[in-house]
Structure 1
Amino acid sequence: MQHTSCTEDRIQHLLDRCLDGLRQSPTAAHHWNVLMCSAGQSMNRWSLEELVKRDPENFIILLQQILKKTKEVQEQCQYELVAPLAIMFSSTLLQTPYCPPDKGLIEKAIEVFRCFLTWPEPYCSVCKDLLSTLQLEIKAPGISFQRLVREEQFLNSPGQSSKTMTVLLMNPCEVPADFLSVAEQLSRIQHSQEETYINLIKHAFQSALGTKYPLQSIHRALQAKNVNELGSIFSTISDILEAAAAMKDPVKGRSHVIQGLEQLRESMRVPASNGRRSDGMLQTLPLPTAKCYMFHWEKDNFDVLNTLLEHEPDDQETNGRRPILSSDEDNQNTTLRVVVFGADHVAGKVARAYNSLRRKESACPRLSRVFRLQFYFVPVKRDSAAGQGSLKSHCPVVQSPKGAALSNDPHLTATGDSTNDIANLLGMLDPWYERNTLGLMNLPANVVCQQTSKTESESYDSSYEQRLPILADLVLYYCRNASRPTLIQLYQAELTLADGERRTEVFVHSLELGHTAGTRAIKAMGAASKRFGIDSDREAVPLKLEVVSNRVVISGRSQWKRETKVCTSVNVTKACKNPEELDAKMECLQLTMTEVLKRQSGKCKKGYNQQLSTTEVKVDKVQVSGAENTTFAVCLDQDEKKILQSVTRCDISVCYKPDSSTDWRLRKAPSSAQIQPLNPTFCSLLCLPIVTFSGALP
């Protein structure tokens, strides 16, 4: 029996809890309304990191236990655990103060994770990225930490000009006040260049030489220097690490780093080591908080991001047009993480903003010429009390003043709130997203937004760290460790208004027509809605509609059906709630019609619908027209600000790119047959790329 310490047992227990309950694939998902991760499970990874950073030796223990678990996963073919283990190993290694070369830990990791290169996507790609990191760490210890901080703190030299900017987009009407407070706190954190230089220089010495030179001695030597001198030392270290990383021989690369740092130590006048033994001790040097910008975001465009161009000087060398999310990026591009908080109606805003951005950048590249855009989505439960009450004072509700029947649809949401189906879809496609990002919704806002206490440990350097609320830590973890876009299909609605105007709108989740759309407009008025009253489907004014739909069948053949119905509502929702609906080849919509079978009218009383029938069917195209001059209201993605009235016809279908030749996926020949789309049509579909940890599981 192997004897372990109490700390090892605690780390092992938390690691097991982090992985417990992860689904094998979307086909193994439970019912839509049952969240696999409890509030406790979504906090396990954060708790594990808090425990590990108390002692530098804990990082080695965790890395060893991850490797042990990974071997078990390989033997048992537990696909669902490959990506989480690879991501956890990478993030742990990034923060490890010193990885002794005599332990051969990185070499063992390369041997273990190399076996997954023959596994299907996305497992092989996740492990391939980790293996690239491991190869660099053998040659240039600590280079991953150095590169990340350089990019997030804008410390790169002209020869190494990669940057990473993080933007937090929030609508004050839609998120809890505590979330806004945390975002503002993140945007206010500024690390001085001097302390960042000192932190990185100390990190470089410790990563390569361990305790050979006490960090206190290095710190004292650096404090006597000005910012320019520190910048020169840091630049020298960066050159040493990058030169070592470019070498083919790992032994020569590591020797180059050690020799370069020894020479630099002499010039810095740090006392020499007293033989093999040293009075120094390892210290955990925390990652500096990434530079963040916070914007209040309410419109269906990304124009607010143009203000960031003021922080980016125009590069005269970058004069070619570059598509959004181009795979031909060079190493000098600035990565822009766009983090959006909200529910499905906010996902709809992101979709329309993304579509608008593509069109603008295609005509006149601006943002995409400077930034490599990545979109992140953090689900938030909509605060109906605060949100709808605020809508009346901040935003116009309907885009057309013309009237239509207004009421409510009990089949969607009883309160008219926005759902979180898109976030749940991302969670079904990527279990690690479900556990670490979607799980935020299970935690009370006052818990995730409270200030955390400092780590009480002599080996933890808290002088440089600014403690953050749990929410901030979870968001930064998501941004730093998620790197693969999951493509969410967009849909378009071609609308014809009563005055003959035609317009095309984009949506990602749902389109509500008739009674449901009108009711959302009334509820958005807040207190004023009491004067209008909100009727149920029983009291709704029926609409005579002609509905033409192409039903989705297993054989793949078209089944067009034309029918005239008297309905209160016709709602179209993305079919994504069941595992069998996640197949990209079966992309379809759920058509729900609330039909009036019998209506009772009276001379003295208001008429009401005595008998109603709800029909649901899967379709890929829908055309709804008002018969006998009937007009209706349309609401996109449950967004009260995206309601159009006096619509006479609505054609719904999947959204295609205006010019598929500019697609980023076609700019470069795929390196593997596994990632080559089987159907050429796939490349022409317009999808919203939301970054997740592993991308979509097969």
Structure 2
Amino acid sequence: MLRWTLHKKIDQNPRNSSMLVSILVKELERAERGDFRHYIIPLLHTLMYTLIKAPCISDELCGRVYDFCKKLLTLPKPFCTIGLDYAARLKTERAAPGTLYQRMVIAEQSLKSDPYPYQEKIFIFADPELLSEAICNALLTDTEAAQVAQSPRACMCYVIIHAMEAALGEGCDSSGLKASLQALSLSEVEHWFQQVVAAVESAGHEASAARSQHAARLEKIHQAVLSSLQAGNAPLGGLQGTPLPNPNISFHLWTEEEQLWKELVLFIRPAAQSCEPERLSQELDTFAMQDILCGCECCPQPRFSVLSTDSGIERDLPLPAEESLPPCGAEPEHSRLHRKGGMRKKPSPLESVAFLQAGCHGAGLKPPGKPQRRAAPAPGPAALPQRLRTARILLLGDDRVLGRLARAYRSLRKRETRRAFLTPRLNLQFYYIPVVAEQPSTSEQPATGQEELCEVATYLGRADPWYESNINTLCHMIPKLATMPSSPSKHLVTDLFLTDVIAYYARMGTQPVCFQVYAVKLFFNAPAQEPAEDVFLTELRSQAQDSASPRELSLTKKKTALDGPGIDLTVTYRKVVLSDRAKELALALRSTGLLMKAIPADEAEDLLCLNVTITEIIRINNLSGRSFSAVATRLRTQNITIRSTEQRPFTVCLDKDSRRTYRNVISMEVSPCLEPSYCLQKTRTTKLSLHGAEDGGLVKYLPKSLLLPINTFAGVIQ
């Protein structure tokens, strides 16, 4: 709340920005002298956000912050990483004041600008089955209210005025600029916007350019804009400041498994080409696949899955009209093998080749409407596509929605391995705000406490105190805000606290914490049932399952009376040791259930390790008879295999989500989920290698495990 109040004071009274920045600089320097490192990163984030919002900051203050950031380079991570990032930004800001504000608004509002052609968007995903309807409606209302006053014209005017105030200071006629820009047409405003952007970007790239030269360029534009309305003689109004517009935010209820991938594809493709998916699908039916793709240099060797209507058996070919039927003495298989009528599957518009290729801007790309029989040779190697767009995926919910994200992320990585479309063009970043509904959803699983449902958020809060005070506090605040009665003048409120915190988190949270995704393969007691493959991020819980048939139930009761409750299991695992040497161990025990935790209870523990707790049943013989006691057996491993020796089934629940419960399981294998690109390259290297080396070629340079990065403000502070 103090951070939010400070930034709102700058919006209300921009003239106090220099004084507030100087106070923050003194606090930073005092924290350095007193060796209070846990204060440095929160103060530095607050200071940089203030510098971006402030209309005019002296070069002397920026220089003090720049020198402080350079001192952080001698400290370990994450201090040196954040210091290097902010030092590079401040160097550009000192050469061309207003650059950070201008770039942020251009990217977040997707304004057309050739000198800085970057775009960013925040996608909020909420699972409607985990959050109440009131919470979803409140979030949707706040995000829609934040987008009301954000027109491209207004944002371009903000950039022009802020650049003038940052460069000219008190010499800028802010009121006159606003009046002049309001009187201009949209094309004229866009013209002056392009002029200001070009001037600021050129000064930022020129290392030898003086600050006075940059101010002289903007002074000419300043006078030209004022003279267009003959408002140059108006009295100077001083610094008035310009608001920092809210980023482009879209709210989505996560109802489909492939919804994440579809939204990213729609974000990558130009809006003008994505409005007619039916026409693109019809073009697929008209033209051949190879004619559409023969000139595309950015997608070499494409492979597509097509539902064939031909079995490939020569006997299945239709007989010509003049050919007579075979005699009775022919092969009997010929009469049995025949082809039935097939159905051609119409691809989805998002899956169509023309839909995806419309987003490619590589050299040599042909329009799908002009097919050619032969592709002309390309004039030269096409440039690789740049990552000009950034998608910030913000998840709202508890650990269950993160488990669903891990599943969708693995599916996306597998899709990109087969055909890279998003990866070369998109920066993908993940954010997480814990939200637990007060009324838990009805399910078979018993109600779980809020602390247990937010293990990832608890770990991130311990690792990053600034995440704890800014983001984890929203876990209880968002449900309260959703249940508060709406004010009759709510549409007049411009300071949306929740939207502001989300924007601050997305803008300043740049340090990822990577979580290991684990793959599990399940085998069932029915021989006809295929094994199932899934992933989990936080935990796997298994319990003994009651037998279905009465006979098995009676046998189970007799055996339980003799051997105790639970089922007999064989556990084979690879023990985690400090020397990092593989040590295979095997256990045979009787258990009622087990729990695998992937999130450690302490941030000092290894994050890439499973803590397995098995409830073992111990039989005790004494004079009074036979008794049983439950003992917790704890293991630390990364690879583990569990089998039911007597073929009795058990249930498996992933990521505390009752919707992801598997029944009738008799065996399971758990291991770190491999990166799909690593698996593909390893397969190719093994086939081409003469000696069968597994880690040869490019395999040793690729990441082996699939890690899910979640952004925080500081990462893990040791």
**TM-score of Structure 1 vs Structure 2, range by shorter chain:** 0.7 to 0.9
Q: Report deviation, 1:319.
A: 7.3
- What TM-score, normalized by structure 1, do the two folds share? 0.74
Which digits, 9 at most, give the CA deviation of each residue in 1:576-609, with x for residues without a partner?
111331x45xx32111112333599xxxxxxx99
Q: Report deviation, 1:661.
A: 8.9
Q: Distance in 2 between matches of 1:363 and 1:147?
A: 34
Aligned to 1:282: 239
Structure 2 residue 576 is the aligned partner of structure 1 residue 579: no
**Which structure 2 residues correspond to residues 208-607 of structure 1 after superposition, within 5 A?**
208-249=167-208, 250-251=210-211, 253-265=213-225, 267-269=227-229, 271-272=231-232, 279-301=236-258, 302-305=260-263, 306-309=265-268, 312=271, 314-318=358-362, 333-385=388-440, 387-388=441-442, 419-443=453-477, 445-447=479-481, 467-500=494-527, 501-515=530-544, 542-581=566-605, 583=606, 587-597=608-618
Q: Distance in 2 between matches of 1:640 and 1:571?
A: 15
Instruction: Please tell me the residue identity of whatever aligns with 2:617.
Output: V
Q: Report deviation, 1:492.
A: 1.3
Which of 201, 222, 237 is residue 160 of structure 2 equivalent to? 201
Q: Distance in 2 between matches of 1:554 and 1:304?
A: 43
Which digits, 9 at most, give the CA deviation of each residue in 1:114-156, with x for residues without a partner?
2112222221121112112212222221121111111111112
Which digits, 9 at most, give the CA deviation of each residue in 1:521-541, with x for residues without a partner?
xxxxxxxxxxxxxxxxxxx96
Which digits, 9 at most, give the CA deviation of each residue in 1:221-258, with x for residues without a partner?
12221111111111111111111111113435533543
Which digits, 9 at most, give the CA deviation of each residue in 1:340-372, with x for residues without a partner?
111111111111111110000111233335432
Preserved contact between residue 240 and residue 260 of structure 1 (Cα < 8 Å): no
Q: Distance in 1 between matches of 2:455 and 2:68?
A: 37
Preserved contact between residue 180 and residue 225 of structure 2 (Cα < 8 Å): no
Q: Report deviation, 1:87.
A: 1.5
Q: CA 1:257–1:567 in structure 2 vs 1: closer, same or farther (change >3 Å)?
A: farther
Preserved contact between residue 541 and residue 568 of structure 1 (Cα < 8 Å): yes
Preserved contact between residue 130 and residue 437 of structure 2 (Cα < 8 Å): yes
Aligned to 1:650: 668
Q: Distance in 1 between matches of 2:261 and 2:452?
A: 24
Aligned to 1:687: 707
Which ranges in structure 1 are unaligned for 5 or more consecutive residues? 1-42, 322-327, 390-396, 398-406, 455-462, 519-539, 601-607, 664-678
Aligned to 1:697: 717
Aligned to 1:107: 63
Q: CA 1:295–1:148 in structure 2 vs 1: closer, same or farther (change >3 Å)?
A: same
Give the number of aligned pairs: 570
Q: CA 1:78–1:331 in structure 2 vs 1: closer, same or farther (change >3 Å)?
A: farther
Q: CA 1:178–1:651 in structure 2 vs 1: closer, same or farther (change >3 Å)?
A: same
Aligned to 1:130: 86
Q: Report deviation, 1:273.
A: 6.4
Preserved contact between residue 268 and residue 426 of structure 2 (Cα < 8 Å): no
Identity across aligned pairs (percent)?
24
Preserved contact between residue 269 and residue 359 of structure 2 (Cα < 8 Å): no
Q: Report deviation, 1:108.
A: 1.8
Which digits, 9 at most, give the CA deviation of each residue in 1:297-348, with x for residues without a partner?
1455423424445655544434799xxxxxx997661111111111111111
Q: Distance in 1 between matches of 2:199 and 2:680?
A: 39
Instruction: Please tell me the residue identity of whatever aligns with 1:578.
Output: D
Q: Secondary structure at the match of 2:178?
A: helix
Instruction: Please tell me the residue identity of whatever aligns with 1:161.
Output: P
Preserved contact between residue 345 and residue 639 of structure 1 (Cα < 8 Å): yes
Which digits, 9 at most, give the CA deviation of each residue in 1:454-511, with x for residues without a partner?
9xxxxxxxx9x96253222111111111122221111111222223422322111111
Aligned to 1:625: 643
Q: CA 1:214–1:259 in structure 2 vs 1: closer, same or farther (change >3 Å)?
A: closer
Preserved contact between residue 598 and residue 612 of structure 1 (Cα < 8 Å): no
Q: Distance in 1 between matches of 2:74 and 2:680?
A: 31
Q: Distance in 2 between matches of 1:291 and 1:108?
A: 33
Q: Report deviation, 1:559.
A: 4.6
Instruction: Please tell me the residue identity of whatever aligns with 1:254.
Output: H
Q: CA 1:506–1:56 in structure 2 vs 1: closer, same or farther (change >3 Å)?
A: same
Q: Report deviation, 1:199.
A: 2.5
Greater displacement, 123-132 / 73-82: 73-82
Preserved contact between residue 176 and residue 232 of structure 2 (Cα < 8 Å): no
Q: CA 1:364–1:253 in structure 2 vs 1: closer, same or farther (change >3 Å)?
A: farther
Instruction: Please tell me the residue identity of whatever aligns with 1:490.
Output: V
Q: Report deviation, 1:267.
A: 4.8
Q: Report deviation, 1:289.
A: 1.7
Preserved contact between residue 448 and residue 470 of structure 1 (Cα < 8 Å): no
Instruction: Please tell me the residue identity of whatever aligns with 2:567.
Output: L
Instruction: Please tell me the residue identity of whatever aligns with 1:686.
Output: L
Which digits, 9 at most, give the CA deviation of each residue in 1:406-462, with x for residues without a partner?
x87xxxx756996111122222232222221122224362248869999xxxxxxxx
Preserved contact between residue 596 and residue 609 of structure 1 (Cα < 8 Å): no
Instruction: Please tell me the residue identity of whatever aligns with 2:237.
Output: G
Preserved contact between residue 567 and residue 648 of structure 2 (Cα < 8 Å): yes
Q: Distance in 2 between matches of 1:171 and 1:198?
A: 37
Preserved contact between residue 413 and residue 676 of structure 2 (Cα < 8 Å): no
Q: Distance in 1 between matches of 2:228 and 2:385?
A: 35
Q: Secondary structure at the match of 1:388?
A: coil
Q: Distance in 2 between matches of 1:483 and 1:650?
A: 37
Structure 2 residue 658 is the aligned partner of structure 1 residue 640: yes
Aligned to 1:392: none
Instruction: Please tell me the residue identity of whatever aligns with 2:46.
Output: M
Q: CA 1:444–1:351 in structure 2 vs 1: closer, same or farther (change >3 Å)?
A: closer
Q: Distance in 1 between matches of 2:424 and 2:262?
A: 16
Q: Distance in 2 between matches of 1:467 and 1:238?
A: 28
Q: Secondary structure at the match of 2:429?
A: strand
Which digits, 9 at most, give the CA deviation of each residue in 1:370-392, with x for residues without a partner?
4321111111124453x236xxx
Greater displacement, 200-209 / 224-233: 200-209
Q: Secondary structure at the match of 1:641?
A: helix
Instruction: Please tell me the residue identity of whatever aligns with 2:576.
Output: V
Aligned to 2:377: none
Preserved contact between residue 14 and residue 55 of structure 2 (Cα < 8 Å): yes
Preserved contact between residue 430 and residue 692 of structure 1 (Cα < 8 Å): yes
Q: Report deviation, 1:649.
A: 0.9
Larger Rg: 2
Structure 2 residue 5 is the aligned partner of structure 1 residue 47: yes
Which ranges in structure 2 are unaligned for 5 or more consecutive residues? 274-357, 366-382, 547-563, 682-698
Q: Distance in 2 between matches of 1:125 and 1:447?
A: 36
Q: Secondary structure at the match of 2:532?
A: strand
Q: Secondary structure at the match of 2:630?
A: strand
- What TM-score, normalized by structure 2, do the two folds share? 0.72
Q: Distance in 2 between matches of 1:574 and 1:428?
A: 16
